[in-house]
Amino acid sequence: MQNQCAVTNCASGNSDPQPLFRFPSDPERSKKWVEKCQREDLSDKPAEQLYRLYRLCGKHFETSSIDKTIHLKELSSLYVIILF
């Protein structure tokens, strides 16, 4: 499992901590995330592997997509990457 954002050159980290979110386990949604990340090296990986090993940080989602009422931050069921 990665403890950093999968987006190339994303500056989140110790100086700008962000919540990390797993890739969707659904193959179609996972594919959309890979396309938005522009990571060619992830395009051939199955959704299950992306779900287990890769994360995106909160910088790449609209704030309204993150449900902060839950103890552990989660994305709403229809989350889509929109910010880069």
pLDDT (tens digit per residue) in 4-42: 889 888 888 767 788 888 888 889 989 988 988 888 999
Average pLDDT, the chain: 77
**pTM check: above 0.85:** no
Identify the pLDDT of residue 70: 44
Identify the pLDDT of residue 11: 80
How far is CA 74 from each of CA 17, 19, 38, 40, rounded to the nearest angstrom?
A: 16, 9, 23, 26
How deeply is 80 buried, as exposed, middle or buried, from its count of CB atoms within 10 A (0-12, 13-18, 19+)?
Answer: middle
